[in-house]
Amino acid sequence: MQVKKKSEFVKNAEKKSGKPKLTKNKMINRLREKYEKDIRPTLAKEFDIKNSFAVPSLKKVVINMGVGNIAKNQQQFDALKRDLATITGQTPSIRNAKVSIASFSLRAGMPVGLSVTLRKERMYSFLDRLFSVVLPRLRDFRGIPLKSFDKVGNYTLGFQEHTVFPEIDSTKSAGAHGLEITIVTTAGEIERSKRLLELLGCPFVKDNTK
């Protein structure tokens, strides 16, 4: 009871003092503010971009997860959907098979994957946690590879286990499952996109460890 009273007291004191609580929106605002105030001007100067609308920026983040045989177990499938929703802060959409493949026991219309597309505030929040919390916590982490850009500067990163995200309780999750994250930018080329992500805090491998 004492702990409960203390907790309530602290909450009331914060309300009276007007002290803001740390929320995900605060993280979002910091990252967006950093881009608008620091990163955008830096990119414009480094690449001699005169038109402010031409400065590279983030467009969206797409998270995809294959479900495999879990689709046949509704309970596990629902648990996997909850896990992805917890990681991204958004309800995933279900991707169904378009054709039947007998050799894989796959029927048209059967769920084959989950997908989430993040934009604006949720996108910034997700990347903030990915760059500053999730990746640095990986065992023997030395940075993510520089070879995962496509020709227009979009970057794709894969995880073998979605349970590396701290929001997931591995004892209650659907079991370790792989997922793929694609960061889509307006850069149009690798060099500008790489610099944008670097300035946002993306921990690429150092040049001497390629």
Alpha carbon distance 114, 192 (integer Å): 30
How confident is the model at residue 66, as a pLDDT? 82
| Cβ atoms of residues 162 and 170 within 8 Å | no
pTM: 0.78
Q: Look at residue 3 and tell me if it is in a domain.
A: no
Write the burial class of residue 76 (CB in 10 Å: 0-12 exposed, 13-18 middle, 19+ buried). Answer: middle
Domain, as residue range, for 171: 23-204
Q: Look at residue 16 and tell me if it is in a domain.
A: no
Q: Residue 106: left if φ>0, alpha if ψ -120 to 50, beta else—which one?
A: beta
More confident residue, 181 or 109: 181
Alpha carbon distance 154, 187 (integer Å): 8
Alpha carbon distance 78, 16 (integer Å): 41
CATH code: domain of residue 136 = 3.30.1440.10
How confident is the model at residue 58, as a pLDDT? 96
Q: Look at residue 40 and tell me if it is in a domain.
A: yes
| Cβ atoms of residues 65 and 112 within 8 Å | no
Q: Look at residue 89 and tell me if it is in a domain.
A: yes
How confident is the model at residue 19, as a pLDDT? 41
Q: Look at residue 80 and tell me if it is in a domain.
A: yes
- Cα end-to-end span (Å), the chain: 56
- Which pLDDT tens digit goes with each residue over 157-167? 999 888 889 88
Residue 185 in this model has a pLDDT that exceeds 60 = yes
More confident residue, 192 or 106: 192
Q: Look at residue 105 and tell me if it is in a domain.
A: yes
Most confident of 52-61, 79-88, 111-120, 129-138: 52-61
Q: What total of structural domains would you count in the chain?
A: 1
Alpha carbon distance 76, 110 (integer Å): 15
Structure tokens belonging to residue 30:
């910091």
Q: Which of 72, 91, 100, 88 is nearest to 24 (CA)?
A: 88
Q: Look at residue 77 and tell me if it is in a domain.
A: yes
Return the H-helix or E-strand segment holding 183.
strand 179-185
- Which pLDDT tens digit goes with each residue over 2-53? 444 444 433 444 444 444 444 444 544 688 889 999 999 999 999 999 998 9
Q: Look at residue 107 and tell me if it is in a domain.
A: yes
- Which pLDDT tens digit goes with each residue over 124-173? 999 999 999 999 888 888 899 999 999 999 999 999 888 889 888 877 77
